[in-house]
A and B are shown apart, each in its own frame.
Chain A
Amino acid sequence: MVRAQNLHKRYAKRRGAEFTAVDGIDFTLRRGECFGFLGPNGAGKSSTMRMIGCVSTPTSGELEVLGLDVREHGRRIRSRLGVVPQDDALDGELSVTENFLLYGRYFALPRRVIDERTRELLEFAQLTDKADARVDELSGGMRRRLTIARALINQPELVLLDEPTTGLDPQARHVLWERLFRLKRDGVTLILTTHYMDEAEQLCDRLVVMDQGRIVAAGTPRELIDAHCAREVVEARFDPDDLATAAKALGAALAEQRIETLPDRLLVYADDGEATLHTVNRQELRPITSLIRRSSLEDVFLALTGRTLVD
């Protein structure tokens, strides 16, 4: 569906300086899968999405979307894509139905087809009873569902979602995830960017981790965790003043294991969490609280870059 080779995007800045947003990435996307770009803000996820969406031209490298070269067939590719931008770009002054109508017009669809699909998509977005409401009056979750439904008006084979659940409350996120699962089940290929590791774990079949314009790891969520982290993590919270001392003591006691120091706690990676927790709690300097959890993509990111995803 999408194939990128040595893809670069550089922006000109003032005084002739350049900013490299995407620094030579390769990836291939298969039909029917959900593919994720995971990384912190500024990692180059959105720039990559804009290039796939054919609103941004690659500076160098190759990029094919739906088997077509983006430099030559931008219009044609866009006519077969669904795009869900981060900031919705809905028309707040118009009603929900009118937003579908206008968007359908952009794809030169006949009125009859738009009306028919609007009915189906309102149902999909669970907005049937809001059909005539002004978009300004909708909640954040409803607006996001509307944006996704609107992006489906041209029955796209590939849907791009840029940070689909950023800014939504947990309940609205779960409703949205469930809708996206349904889309995937119906055979639509999805690409999404996110800086939430739980979202990537929930939705993505495969993903790449991006940092500073490069891909630092790729695989299924499970593969990534297995390759880069121990199975479990012991999180031990300390008073910030004691953190350095505690890290030193634990480093000596558990020399074989990887320990990460965060501003308020230590993470100890372990194949046997119980045993490690036991060791942690037996130290002279005891943690304020401690817990064992499974390793997640957050830990993968930390292992790869030494930084956390969301700070």
Chain B
Amino acid sequence: MTTTLPPLRRWPLVRGEVAFWLLHYRRTWRSSIVMNIANPLLFFVGIGVGLGRLVDTSASASLHGASYLAFLAPGLLAAAAMQTATIESAAGSFLSLRDRRNYRAAACTPLDPIDVLAGHLLFIAFRIATSAAAVLLVMLLFGVARSPLVLLALPAAVLTGLAFATPGMALGVTIRSRETFFNTFRFVIMPMYLFSGTFVAVDELPAVIRPIVYPLPLWHGVELCRGLALGGLEPGRAVLHLTYLTVLATAGLLLARRAYRRALHD
């Protein structure tokens, strides 16, 4: 029997998955935004009046003449994007598959695993953007941005987040216990937070450690955001960072696509 069937369009279905996440977000967005703003605010005040003074009096050349707060702020921006992305992707997809089981419900509808992945990823990108925008807002309030290009730090932070979100989603639907997620956070994300030039310029680190830092995705995000906020980002290095993060995000997406197919259908 050959019948010509009308095409089944994909985008309306992906939107169905986005709608799921937005409806849930609608219940928590206020507290979520307060958290997103309060977090950098506390950090900035603490550093600005405390640690920052201490560092600035022994000012080092590697701060490029900026205050320590101005140096640190874009690092925190990139790190916040990483943190939001990891939690939303790995924990979000793990719970969606096993606890809340909304993935299981969606799998029985016309959505293919790739549609579920696309819809959830769009929402995660939105969440990374809102949390990055909150940090950026606080940066502008404190007047620590020196270049008008600082606004480009928002898409840069989103890209940084996506480099964590896509492998995070692959991880979330693959792991069998939440312990694996906590361990990843403890032993991968936290060290990366500390050693990616977020708090100290990589040039300041011992020469032995530096080669370990360069492949870290967060370092590329931090460099990108810092260059845009403080000015003086060389085009060649910008291309390198952008390419590195894009490759990671894409590789993660391919892994996630395979992992979602296996997890949602068999």
Interface positions of A (Cβ within 8 A of B):
11, 50, 53, 55-57, 67, 73-76, 78-79, 81, 83, 85, 87, 89-94, 98, 101-103, 105-108
Contacts and interface: CB of A to CB of B under 8 A. Distances in A.
Given A55-B266, A94-B23, A75 B107 contact: no
B12 A87 contact: no
B106 interface: yes
B8 A79 contact: yes
A119 to B, nearest CB: 19
A105 B20 contact: yes
A164 to B, nearest CB: 15
Given A75-B112, A105-B20, A85 B104 contact: yes
Q: Name the residue in B12, B100, B110 with the highest tally of chain A Cβ atoms < 10 Å from its Cβ.
A: B110
B100 A106 contact: no
Contacts of A79: 8, 109-110
Given A75-B112, A93-B24, A98-B23, A106 B264 contact: no
Nearest to B104: A89
Interface in B88-113: 100-102, 104-112
A127 to B, nearest CB: 18
Contacts of B5: 73, 76
For the complex of A and B, the 5 pairs showing the least CB-CB separation, nearest first, are A108-B12, A106-B109, A79-B110, A83-B108, A105-B16
B1 interface: yes
Interface string B14-32: 0111011001100100000
A11 to B, nearest CB: 7
Q: Name the residue in B102, B108, B266 with the highest tally of chain A Cβ atoms < 10 Å from its Cβ.
A: B108
Contacts of A76: 5, 8, 110
Given A56-B265, A75-B8, A87-B101, 4 more contacts: A55-B264, A79-B110, A83-B108, A89-B108
Nearest to A91: B102
Contacts of B102: 89, 91
Nearest to A80: B110
Interface residues of B, number: 29
Contacts of A74: 112
B265 A107 contact: no
Contacts of B265: 55-57
A103 B109 contact: yes
A99 to B, nearest CB: 9
A50 B111 CA distance: 15
14 contacts: A55-B107, A75-B111, A76-B8, A87-B101, A87-B104, A89-B104, A91-B105, A92-B100, A105-B15, A106-B109, A106-B110, A106-B111, A108-B15, A108-B110
Nearest to B105: A89
Contact of A78 (B19, B20, B23, B108): B108
A98 B1 CA distance: 40
A56 B111 contact: no
B7 to A, nearest CB: 10
B155 to A, nearest CB: 28
A107 B266 contact: no
Contacts of A50: 266
A269 B224 CA distance: 82
Contact of B20 (A55, A67, A102): A102
A67 B101 contact: no
Contacts of A103: 105, 109
Contact of B108 (A53, A57, A108): A53
Nearest to A51: B266
Contacts of A85: 104-105, 108
Contact of B106 (A53, A81, A106): A106
Interface string B100-142: 1110111111111000000000000000000000000000000
B13 interface: yes
Given A76-B5, A105-B19, A105-B20, A55 B108 contact: yes
A55 B106 CA distance: 10
A98 B102 CA distance: 13
Nearest to B1: A67
Contact of B19 (A55, A67, A73, A102): A102
A108 B16 contact: yes
Contacts of A56: 265-266
Contact of A11 (B16, B17, B20, B266): B266
Nearest to B11: A108
B48 to A, nearest CB: 39
A107 B109 contact: yes
B4 to A, nearest CB: 12
Contacts of B17: 106
A92 B112 CA distance: 23
Contact of B101 (A73, A89, A106, A107): A89
Contacts of B264: 55
Contacts of B110: 75-76, 78-79, 106-108
A107 B108 contact: no
A93 B102 CA distance: 11
A76 to B, nearest CB: 6
